Amino acid sequence: MDPIITPPVHPDPQTMNRRHITDYAHGITAIDAGYERPGLVAIHLIFERGRAAIVDTGTMHSVDGVMAVLATKDIAPHDVDYVILTHVHLDHAGGAGALMQRLPQARAVVHPRGARHLSDPTQLLAGVTAVYGAHETMRRFGQIVPVPTERIIEAPDGLRLDLHGRELLFLDTPGHARHHICMFDRASSAFFTGDTFGLSYREFDTDRGEFVFPTTTPVQFDPLALHASIDRLIGMNPIQMFLTHYGRVGNPGRLAGDLHESIDAFTALALQAAGSGPDRHRLIREGLQQLLLERLARHGCRLDRARVLELMEMDIELNTQGLEVWLDHRRTH
């Protein structure tokens, strides 16, 4: 199903205007990747006087939708210069190879540690298949098409690229993954943060603004590195952030404070459960659930508990698994 032109099945004022594409200032658009549910994974498009860049790609299933949006905006396939991948987790970069087959001029931009996984996704795919199984991996991500090495630009910390006169600056931002980059776009004073600046679903917006929480998914969550990366982003004084999950958030300073607090609360909770043997997973999971429900209530969120948990179920499970990996890693080092 085409995620872009399919009308909402159950129109919901919280999401209906944001299901497919959201246009922002400075030529920035969020395209819904159509991954799992609307409003979960955003593919960002940056347009600068005839040239374009795409930040994160969703999966192979997202490619037709992206091409359809480019067409409606009169952006030809050869007008796209860059496919920027914040990191190579498959909800962000799984569709990169398939998308680039349709964009003849585009080069992929990725952390030096991520580059080999783009040109040879075997190891990445094996890891994901071990978690989800072959059938579910195919359903979620489709085929993973390799990106030819000569079409990859490795982005070390401080790299600057030019999008038709618009400077794009890349920072090395570990914490969620060791191969994570964030991109600063000076024209919009915005960072494109992948997963480094957490997750913020538009359904949780209230009159107090956005609600954000960190992602600690397996297998490279590193709280100290994540704290430092968030501080580095804020050190550039951005006025807004574009998150893959999902879209634009303002007020980065307040949100950074919330993220720092939540990272500490998550790790404290994991440490508390560390000695609980077979109950550990359940205790961390229930603790995260409780913590997030309390924080959302304080934020003024009026969604009922069932809806909140429906929106967060997958993140709570993945965050639990990631915290467990972090605990085990600490124990053996």
Tell me which residues touch Zn ion (CB under 5 A): 195
* Residue 92 and residue 57 in contact, taking contact as beta carbons nearer than 8 Å: yes
Pick 216 or 240: Cβ nearer Zn ion:
216
Residue with Cβ nearer Zn ion (172 or 195): 195
184: Cβ–Cβ under 8 A, 6 or more apart, which residues?
168, 169, 170, 171, 190, 191, 236, 238
Of the candidates 121, 50, 132, 49, which has an alpha carbon nearest to the alpha carbon of residue 85? 121
The C-alpha angle with vertex 69 and arms to 184 and 162, in degrees rounded to 5, equals: 30
- Quick one: 20 or 180, whose CB is closer to Zn ion? 180
Chain position carrying tokens 């690229």: 161
CB of 59 to Zn ion, least distance (A): 12
- What is the spatial distance between Cα 250 and Cα 228, in angstroms, rounded to a whole number? 20
- Residue whose C-beta lies closest to Zn ion: 195
Nearer to Zn ion, 128 or 163 (CB): 128
Closer CB to Zn ion, 64 or 195, in the complex: 195
Return the number of the residue (27 or 173) whose C-beta is nearest Zn ion: 173
Least separation, in Å, of the C-beta of 202 and Zn ion?
16
Residue closer to Zn ion, measured from CB, 163 or 199: 199
Q: What is the DSSP string of 2-59?
A: -TTTSPPSS--TTTGGGSSEEE-STTEEEEE--SSSTTS-EEEEEEETTEEEEE----
Q: CB of residue 90 vs Zn ion: minimum separation in angstroms? A: 9
Max CA separation in the chain (angstroms): 58
Shortest distance in whole angstroms from residue 204 CB to Zn ion? 17
Taking the complex as a whole, the smallest distance from the CB of residue 14 to Zn ion amounts, in Å, to 21
- Which is closer to Zn ion, CB of 163 or CB of 249? 249
Residue 29 Cβ vs Zn ion, minimum distance, rounded to whole Å: 19
Residue 131: alpha-carbon gap to chain centroid: 19
Least Cβ distance, residue 255 to Zn ion (angstroms): 17
Structure tokens at 191: 């960072």
| Residue 99 Cα to chain centre, angstroms | 17
What does the block give as tokens for 333? 């080092």
Q: Which is nearer to Zn ion, 87 or 166 (CB)?
A: 87
Q: Closest approach of Cβ 303 to Zn ion, in Å?
A: 22
Alpha helices by DSSP H, listed for the chain, are 63-72, 90-93, 96-100, 115-119, 122-132, 134-141, 223-235, 252-273, 280-298, 305-332
Q: Which two tokens stand for residue 55?
A: 């930040």
Q: How far is the CB of 245 from Zn ion (least distance, A)?
A: 6
- Tokens matching residue 114: 């991520």
Q: What are the φ/ψ torsions at residue 288 (nearest 5 degrees)?
A: -65, -40
